[in-house]
Amino acid sequence: MSKKSAPIAERIRHLNLPPTCYVPIEQTALDRTLSPLNLPELVGHSLVNQVCSIAEITIEAATEKLRQVMVVDQFVLIYWPDFQEGFSMSWNTFLQHFDELYLPGSDDVIVTDLDGLPLVEITHEEEIRLFR
């Protein structure tokens, strides 16, 4: 199975992370957050502080841009709406494996804090939207 078509759980499994580094988000929480009614509310009504394109830069430079978003490492909730999957993991773990967990031109990723408030959206159009 190619990385492009691999579900997120499969991508994470290939990273060989210790099980303590990530936790799948329960299906009921995924359904509630990613439902067609709640998803636009989650990102659409949040205050977008900044938008920047990562289309013309390397994945390493994009990772560094994201590293500047949150200096403090903390656990976050990361959602892949198109795959109906989500995981809780540390921001640093996500960034360390960003090139495996985000595929430009394909994936949309929404990162929230543990209370569900949006922090970052990374679109398949290779844009980063910062919420504050």
**Segment 43-95, tens digit of pLDDT:** 665 667 788 899 999 999 999 989 887 767 799 999 999 999 999 999 999 99
**Segment 10-47, tens digit of pLDDT:** 999 999 999 899 999 999 999 888 887 666 666 665 66
**Segment 98-118, tens digit of pLDDT:** 999 999 988 999 999 998 888
Q: Could you write out the DSSP letters of every residue in 53-96?
A: E-TTS-HHHHHHHHHHH--S--EEEEEEGGGTEEEEEEHHHHHH
Question: Is a pLDDT exceeding 50 seen at residue 1?
Answer: no
Cα of 108 vs its chain's centroid, Å: 7
3-state secondary structure of 124: coil
Backbone angles phi, psi at 119, to 5 degrees: -110, -50
Q: Are 119 and 70 in contact (CB under 8 A)?
A: yes
